[in-house]
Amino acid sequence: MKSDNARAGMQQAPARSLFNALGFTPEEMKKPMVGIVSSYNEIVPGHMNIDKIVDAVKLGVAEAGGVPVVFPAIAVCDGIAMGHIGMKYSLVTRDLIADSTECMAIAHQFDALVMVPNCDKNVPGLLMAAARLDLPTVFVSGGPMLAGHLGGQKRSLSSMFEAVGSYEAGKMTEEDVEEYVNKVCPTCGSCSGMYTANSMNCLTEALGMGLRGNGTIPAVYSERIRLAKHAGMAVMDLWRKGITARQIITKESMLNALTVDMALGCSTNSMLHLPAIAHEIGFDFDISFANPISEKTPNLCHLAPAGPTYMEDLNEAGGVYAVMKELSDIGLINTECLTVTGNTIGENIKNARNLNPEVIRTVDNAYSKTGGLAVLKGNIAPDGSVVKRSAVVPEMLVHEGPARVFDSEDDAIVAIKGGKIVPGDVVVIRYEGPKGGPGMREMLNPTSAIAGMGLGSSVALITDGRFSGASRGASIGHVSPEAAVGGPIALIEEGDIISIDIPGLSMNVKVSDEELAKRKEKWQPREPKVTTGYLKRYMSMVTSGNMGAVLKAPEV
């Protein structure tokens, strides 16, 4: 056992005395030690129930012959951090989570791990750690929130943000907004649409790192407690069989996850996180892989914010396995990939059924023949940009209009809410990328304000920052290279005509190469927005959005 490095032999007698101080029995000292990474805290609604999930995992591990040992991972609630300096500290936690888990797992020589994440950065951060550590590992999330109910319709967090935009436009009263406040987020769990947290938890199933239902069983269902117990049992089975994370997280399983992403219509943030996870196994995941996979993958689901269905509906319809079965039947899934069940994807999904073709459309009745995401390139984004095309209204798939240029999200919000943005405009928000932000803030406030003010079918937004999974409309993010390193988005001027062609996978500013070259000569780097603390260190090491915003040591 790996844990013998910390417990066995005369040299480790001092360590055994410390295990003794922890209350370990002699019998436990002979069993495999399983680290349970708990993302529990009392500030994130998606994590407030994780203590119960962890307790269930501990029972499963102990029942199967292991010794469960809990240690923590941090988590930021993006919804609470949104719209102020706190959002700069969201994406950056992904690497802190991966690094701190690596530290704890190696320092204490755990034999296996169960990861218990839920929200946006915890899932990819812990997947990065799992790939890096290459131990027997199983994921079990805290589960999604139930949808709210208001006016006879289901609602979610994106409805809340759009209500604020409607209020600013005079379409809702303060009392209307307060009713939304009280009803759109009714339970614990990750927010109820196909936002980033739920996207990544579903993709964990597609990767093979989570048991069936990991992405979709609601947080408040007792079924999730049973799932957690089985996760604890499953990790012990993996340990006995010698199956480790890198046998499951492979190039082939990563491409399976990207395929399922396209069918589900996942958050654009998956195009930051999948490359970062791939980086840990040495797979150079180019975001442009999205386009050929999207071209052959039908979009089968329109969950909020793209449509009126929610995670609870996807769960009842058969969940991720039912989606994968639809895709497998037309040859789009590599069924030989290994999973945490000890079986292959093909064995896992062979009996899956689509129980509601209105929630999971069949391949011959897909929302579109192409997938939910697209990577656009052109003279604004030579290294790529990402749009959730499944959440774009048809009239905005091709758009041309004048640039309205802002050097921060805050300035753009003032203009939008002040009525300065009109139909046809293309809002450009720059210096919000991984380095320029720093931290690549999500921009749910401006996208929701645009939608709430009735401009969602006539105004586009492009940025070197990123969007919440709750964003919808012609919102194009991750523009690379970013403005802070002199990318072409930094050269756009007020009134320049921007042409967006999502089906054609292109985005360009109608300015000659010669003019752009002249502007480039005059461009000067901006003073850093942050000069102290963790963000300063992050800024010096982070790569571009198209590379997954992974950290690399600065060149000497």
Local structure of residue 159 (DSSP, 8 states): H
Assigned token pair, 480: 């690379």
Residue 321 one-letter amino acid: Y
Determine the Cα–Cα distance for residues 235 and 215; give it in Å rounded to an integer. 18
Determine the Cα–Cα distance for residues 211 and 230; give it in Å rounded to an integer. 8
Nearest CA-CA partner of 137 in 217, 49, 208: 208
136 CB burial (10 A radius; 0-12, 13-18, 19+): buried
Nearest CA-CA partner of 429 in 485, 489, 497: 489
Residue 135 one-letter amino acid: L
Active-site choice (38, 468, 471, 480): 468
Give kind and range of the element (H or E) at residue 320. Answer: helix 319-328
173 CB burial (10 A radius; 0-12, 13-18, 19+): exposed
Long-range contact set of residues 506-513: C-beta below 8 Å, sequence gap at least 24: 506/376, 506/377, 506/378, 507/376, 507/377, 507/378, 507/380, 507/381, 507/385, 507/462, 507/476, 508/378, 508/379, 508/380, 509/379, 509/380, 509/403, 511/379, 513/379
The string of DSSP letters for 447-473 reads HHHHHHTT-TTT-EEEESSB--TT--S
CA angle 237, 239, 244 (to 5 degrees): 110
* Contacts with 128 (C-beta within 8 Å, 6 or more apart), sequence order: 94, 95, 97, 98, 276, 277, 279, 280
270 catalytically annotated: no
Contact yes or no for 49/27 (Cβ under 8 A) = no
SS3 label, residue 73? coil
Assigned token pair, 426: 């293309």
Cα–chain-centroid distance for residue 289?
A: 18
Residue 42 one-letter amino acid: E
Residue 340's DSSP bridge partners are none
Contact yes or no for 264/199 (Cβ under 8 A) = yes
Catalytic residues: 468
